[in-house]
Chain A
Amino acid sequence: MDWSPFLLSFKLALLTALVLLLIGIPLAYALSFVNWRGKRLVQALIALPMVLPPTVLGFYFLLVFSPQSSIGTFLNSFFDLQLVFSFSGLLLGSIIYSLPFMVQPIQNAFEQLPNDMLQFARVLGKGKWAIFKKIILPNSVKGIATGLVLSFAHTLGEFGLVLMIGGNIPNETRVASIAIYESVELMQMEQANQYALILLLISFVVLVFIYSLGNNSKRLVRW
């Protein structure tokens, strides 16, 4: 069996999740603890990939970054960077596509922190950075872990976007979901079966992990 689509999928999902972690925490902080104009608009923008068909995202991505567009030409001539039909393009697309899956769990975690706790710390003379590092982050580990795992899994399952902006290039953009699609087309059912089974298992394990983070036993509703 050819493992390269899985390696590629994992690499993409891992890098996406890591980059999103760096973007997601400050974003969630700004959305939870700071008041500013246009916050709702930004919130809607971040959530957009959850409802938008991947083809819409893919279409605009192609429009903006194709070598015929001015941005595409600029990136190509100054940074030697091509974002369509390349791994870096997939990475950028996935970061946008999975953004809500990182931001929202972290934001929820931040917003569920007891207000008193943060106010006590403030009264006791701690600075904002110290509060963030010593209180907010450690108490939001579950949310952050959920965000990491969800955005990883969501990227792993990405299909339509990759098909549009990545094509099907071996070791560059042929990720596992695309490999399944192609195997079915070529009637290589055995290979499609193997790929599909592995993805199914991974998705299941990921969800079990997320639900076990919730520590359900303590929160049983009794009546």
Chain B
Amino acid sequence: MNRLAFNSKNFLLFLCLSFFLSCNSTEQHANIRVAVAANFYPLMLELKQDFEQLHAVEVDLISGSSGVLSSQIRQGAPYDAFFSADLDYSMDLYEDGYSAQLPKIYAKGRMVLCSNTGTVDLSSLCMGGKNTKIGIANPKTAPYGKAALKFLQTQTCFTELEPRLIYANNINQLDQYISNGVVGLGITAASSIEMKSFLKDYQILSFTEGLEQTFVLLDGKKTPHRLSQQFLDYILSEEIQEIIVSKGYRL
């Protein structure tokens, strides 16, 4: 009992110490916060490092499905820019006054049907075993999921496919499901093939329309726009656009 004596002096010291420990925030240099659709996040992690070396700025990335990120922005999340996986989410934010600039296309995404457990054959989609689960991103929040669902709906056997669908929160979670075989088949972003080499077999769904992935600059008040604008210009620069294409996107 004595070791834990309730001594008000000790206690005050403890309080001060802990507040001191909690408050000595590390030296803050300029930083911008960028919300990124999950499919583009792995590539963005690489681009961010490059950009940070070029400019004295820290880029904090927040990843999620476009729908989740955009509702976070509506609820007041302090992001400086938003990289959506489609045009709609950015456009809605622009139209509702969250951004003063029109959305710009930074990449066009393609979709891929893939598997990590067996071979992939588009024509056998309908014949495939009834137990094979098909993973897609949540169509309600992820543009890739919406596009995947749209594609599946064109299949004649959709009513049989529907009960086999598994919804992931976003592309990264979907890729994790595909990679460890939770789902036998998956429809994910083609960039996943380049960025994460985990697939046994895949087939690019080249006939589906590409997703026009767009970004918007958000009107956050605390961070200077200049840095965020610089970052967006950097993404649109020729050199970076080439890298983006080499990672499975189209322009």
Contact = CB atoms under 8 A, between A and B. Distances in A.
B18 interface: yes
Interface residues of B, number: 33
B173 A185 contact: yes
A171 B76 CA distance: 17
A66 B64 contact: no
Interface stretch (B55-63, B121-129, B235-243): B55-63
B131 interface: no
Contact of B63 (A62, A68, A144, A168): A168
Interface residues of A, number: 30
A170 B176 contact: no
Interface string A96-126: 0000000000000000000000000000000
- Name the residue in A15, A169, A182 with the highest tally of chain B Cβ atoms < 10 Å from its Cβ: A169
A95 interface: no
Interface stretch (A26-34, A43-51, A80-88, A194-202): A80-88
B206 interface: no
B173 A169 contact: no
B13 interface: no
A13 B21 CA distance: 12
B179 interface: yes
Given A82-B76, A85-B78, A186-B42, A167 B62 contact: yes
Given A84-B76, A137-B6, A141-B4, A171 B60 contact: yes
Given A15-B22, A169-B33, A169-B62, A85 B176 contact: no
A84 B73 CA distance: 10
Contacts of B18: 14-15, 18
A85 B6 contact: no
Given A85-B75, A187-B196, 20 more contacts: A11-B21, A62-B75, A67-B76, A82-B76, A82-B78, A84-B77, A85-B76, A85-B77, A137-B6, A142-B4, A144-B6, A167-B62, A167-B72, A169-B60, A170-B60, A170-B62, A172-B60, A185-B38, A185-B176, A187-B179
Interface of B: 1, 4-6, 15, 18-19, 21-22, 33, 38, 41-42, 60-64, 72, 74-78, 169-170, 172-173, 175-176, 179, 196, 198
